[in-house]
Amino acid sequence: MTRHLLVVGAQRCGTTYLHSLLDAHPEVAMARPSRPEPKVFLSDDVVTRGLRWYHEAFFAHATSEALLGEKSTSYLDHPAAAARAARVLGEAEIVALLRDPVERAVSNWRFSTDHGLETRPLETALRETLAAPTPWDPASTSVSPFAYLERGRYADALEPWLAAFPATTHVVLLHDLLDDDGAVGGLYADLGLDASYRPPDRDRPVNQSRQPRPDLPDDLLHVLREYFRDSDEALARMLGRDLPWPSPATRGGTHA
């Protein structure tokens, strides 16, 4: 029986690295082409083409793999994508890869700056985002390139996926994936794959920015930690564990 896998995001959390780990596994066929990302479930018009079209469009290369997967990081930004995916796929394994939301915000700014979408200095962009969302052109990108802070409120974004796929939504933290030698095998096992498989050595992160690593002033860093406090606390409750990034009380953190 063919099973499906969706890596739904979050953006700038190491999903390209995760894609490489999944694509390397002999029991997984990841969608081709991988770029641009398939983004099938962002549109009702595309969804109406059905499961057969989905397989023919992205998995013609698949042979006997147990799991057909795709990575589309825009899915976590679109609440309706979860219900569309459930309607077409029925059951599916869902993986959301998350990281420290402040580090993610800085990485998002660097990415948008690299691609000519952002011209504001980092501190200005973050302070203005705290005040109000930055307008953007939906015709140019599938999600806002300026959602530096909104996109890091992970608990809210996960709710539609947990509702549509309550038993098969897996939340993975980049910190664990990079620092825990058993985390990759654990993820394979959670997805019903051979956990003994060891992927070949690969360069770790992935999509490195050309921008220098800017520092944030302490006052802004504290405001950002407060901004994410309730979301981080909700995520910790959801996962039943402490999060491996600073709380507002520590007033610390690194940037990527």
CB atoms within 10 A of CB 197: 15
Was domain 3-239 assigned CATH 3.40.50.300? Answer: yes
Strand order in the sheet with 3-9: 28-30, 67-71, 3-9, 93-98, 169-173
Distance CA 136, CA 114 (A): 17
Mean pLDDT of the chain: 91
pLDDT tens digits, residue range 198-238? 988 655 555 554 555 678 999 999 999 999 999 999 999 99
Residue 64 has pLDDT above 90, yes or no: yes
Residue 155 has pLDDT above 80, yes or no: yes
Among 58-72, 163-177, 197-211, 227-241, the least confident range: 197-211
* Residues 215, 70 contacting (CB under 8 angstroms): no
Higher-confidence residue of 155 and 202: namely 155
Per-residue pLDDT, 212: 59
Domain range list for the chain: 3-239
pLDDT tens digits, residue range 9-40? 999 999 999 999 999 999 999 999 888 999 99
